[in-house]
Amino acid sequence: MVHSEKQKLQKARAYFKFILAGLPKPVSTKYLTATEQDTWKQIIELRNTLLSIHDENSRILGLNVPEFKCFICNKPTIEDYKITKDGMTYNLCKKHFKEEWKN
């Protein structure tokens, strides 16, 4: 199967986002010096910024990125299916939205 340039770009960017999102956060930073903790905090903040602008920048590159994605399975969804837990709002697909309401 031949991928178009756009598909390649989409795939590469999705992989980048996946790796970035999985960047491990140590359970404890108490073994780090104050300077190291400070730098680590900056890394996390920059990582979060990069994650938060990713979709918008994919759209700038002409990629088709759905506005809302399921927090659990990452499938495109609509704004209506969302839940609020511990003060955070999550978008869900229809399937996971229904499952959440059962719990």
Nearer to Zn ion (CB atom), residue 32 or residue 73? 73
Nearer to Zn ion (CB atom), residue 10 or residue 96? 96
- Compute how many other C-beta atoms are within 10 angstroms of the C-beta atom of residue 50: 15
- The footprint of Zn ion (CB under 5 A) covers 70, 72-73, 93, 96
- Distance of closest approach, residue 77 Cβ to Zn ion, in angstroms: 7
Q: Cα separations (Å) of 40 from 16, 19, 30, 44?
A: 20, 17, 12, 6
- Distance of closest approach, residue 69 Cβ to Zn ion, in angstroms: 9
β-bridge partners, 88: 85
Alpha helices in 22-93 (DSSP H): 34-60
- Distance of closest approach, residue 34 Cβ to Zn ion, in angstroms: 41
Nearer to Zn ion (CB atom), residue 26 or residue 66? 66
